[in-house]
């Protein structure tokens, strides 16, 4: 869940067809916004840190690809970090989840994969945003017609 939410926050969804410089979703929220709260990884913080230090993903001509075992081995060898095999599997799984979800997260209407327990005010805010998004979609469809 952590990797998917990180991908969602890192995504740069276009707000309209001519948006040639979309900004990262994380920059659309004010500090302290509940959408910026990451899932709890208690006891696995070191795995998240290794995943980030490894680069989280690789890229090629086709875009993002998950970290390879070879890349992870190079990180282990060069950093001198001792990572157990099950931790390596978790890092690879996080990379796969990030890459897979990042494709969906580029859609402006992609729903956040994680949401902390919300207050009533936060729930009302979400309902208002959803209604506003629906109005914007209808307006853009009318303009396209």
Cα–Cα distance, 55 to 71 (Å, whole number): 9
Nearest alpha-carbon partner for 47 in 8, 114, 9, 2: 2
Q: Which whole number is the average pLDDT over 70-96?
A: 94
Place of tokens 């900004």: 23
Spell out the alpha helix ranges (H) of the chain: 2-10, 45-54, 69-79, 85-105, 120-144
Digit-coded pLDDT (tens) for 15-40: 877 888 888 999 988 888 888 999 99
pLDDT greater at residue 138 or residue 54: 54
Cα–Cα distance, 23 to 25 (Å, whole number): 6
119 pLDDT band, cuts 50/70/90, is: confident
Q: Which whole number is the average pLDDT over 103-131?
A: 86
Cβ-contact 26, 9 below 8 angstroms: yes
Cα–Cα distance, 17 to 25 (Å, whole number): 17
Counting residues of the chain whose pLDDT is more than 70, the rounded percentage is: 98
Q: What integer pLDDT is reported at residue 4 of this predicted model?
A: 96
Q: Is the whole model's pTM more than 0.75, yes or no?
A: yes
On the question of pLDDT at 145 being above 70, the answer is no
144 pLDDT band, cuts 50/70/90, is: low
Q: What is the pairing mode between strands 63-65 and 58-60? A: antiparallel
């Amino acid at each position: 869940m952590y990797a998917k939410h990180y991908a969602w926050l890192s995504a740069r969804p276009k707000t309209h067809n001519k948006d040639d410089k979309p900004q990262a979703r994380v920059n659309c929220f004010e500090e302290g916004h509940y959408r910026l709260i990451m899932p709890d990884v208690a006891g696995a913080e070191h795995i998240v840190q290794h995943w980030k230090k490894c680069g989280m993903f690789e890229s090629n001509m086709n875009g993002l690809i998950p970290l390879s075992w070879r890349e992870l081995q190079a990180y282990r060898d060069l950093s001198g970090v001792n990572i157990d095999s099950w931790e390596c599997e978790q890092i690879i799984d996080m990379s796969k989840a990030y890459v897979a979800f990042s494709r969906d997260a580029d859609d402006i209407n992609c729903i956040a994969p994680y949401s902390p327990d919300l207050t009533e005010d936060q729930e009302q805010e979400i309902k208002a945003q959803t209604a506003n998004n629906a109005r914007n979609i209808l307006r853009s469809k009318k303009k396209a017609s």
